[in-house]
A = this chain, B = another copy of it.
Amino acid sequence: MKTIRVSIIGFGAVGQGVARVLIDKKEYLEKLGLDFRVVAVADSRTATINENGVDLSAVLVRKQSEGVVGSEKLTGLEIIETIDHDLIVETTPTNIVTGGVGLQNMLAAFKHGRDVVTSNKGPLAMKYGELIEVAKAGGSRFRFEATVGGAMPVLNLANDVLAGNTITNVEGIFNGTCNYILTRMMEEHAPYEQMLAEAQELGYAETDPTYDVEGIDTACKLVILANCVFGMNATHEDVTITGITKITPEALLLAQNEGYVIKLIGEVNDSRINVAPKLVPIDHPLAVGGSLNVASVQTDLSGPITVTGRGAGSIETASAILSDMISIYRD
Q: How far is the CB of A279 from chain B (nearest CB, A)?
A: 16
Give every chain B residue within 8 A of A299 (Cβ-Cβ): 319
Do A316 and B303 touch across chains, with their CB atoms under 8 A apart? Answer: yes
Give every chain B residue within 8 A of A16 (Cβ-Cβ): none
Q: Which of B152, B157, B303, B327 contacts A153 (CB 8 A)?
A: B157
Do A309 and B301 touch across chains, with their CB atoms under 8 A apart? Answer: no
Q: Give the interface size bracket for A toward B.
A: 35 or more
Q: Which of B32, B318, B323 contacts A161 (CB 8 A)?
A: B323
Do A160 and B309 touch across chains, with their CB atoms under 8 A apart? Answer: no
Q: Which of B25, B160, B306, B309 contacts A164 (CB 8 A)?
A: B25
Stretch from A76-84, A265-273, A280-288 at the B interface: A280-288
Q: Which of A157, A309, A313 has the most CB of B within 10 A?
A: A309
Q: Which of A280-317 contact B (CB under 8 A)?
A: 282-283, 285, 287-289, 292, 299, 301-310, 313, 315-316
Q: Which residue of B lies closest to A315 (CB)?
A: B301
Is there a chain B Cβ closer than 8 Å to A326's Cβ? yes
Q: Which residue of B lies closest to A289 (CB)?
A: B283
Is there a chain B Cβ closer than 8 Å to A46's Cβ? no
Do B322 and A301 touch across chains, with their CB atoms under 8 A apart? Answer: yes
Binding site for B on A (CB under 8 A): 21, 25, 28-29, 32, 151-153, 156-157, 160-166, 282-283, 285, 287-289, 292, 299, 301-310, 313, 315-316, 318-320, 322-323, 325-327, 330
Q: Would you mind naming 19 contact pairs between A and B with Cβ atoms under 8 Å apart? A: A21-B301, A28-B164, A151-B302, A151-B305, A152-B305, A162-B319, A163-B322, A163-B327, A164-B319, A283-B287, A283-B289, A302-B310, A303-B316, A304-B309, A305-B308, A305-B309, A306-B309, A307-B308, A308-B308
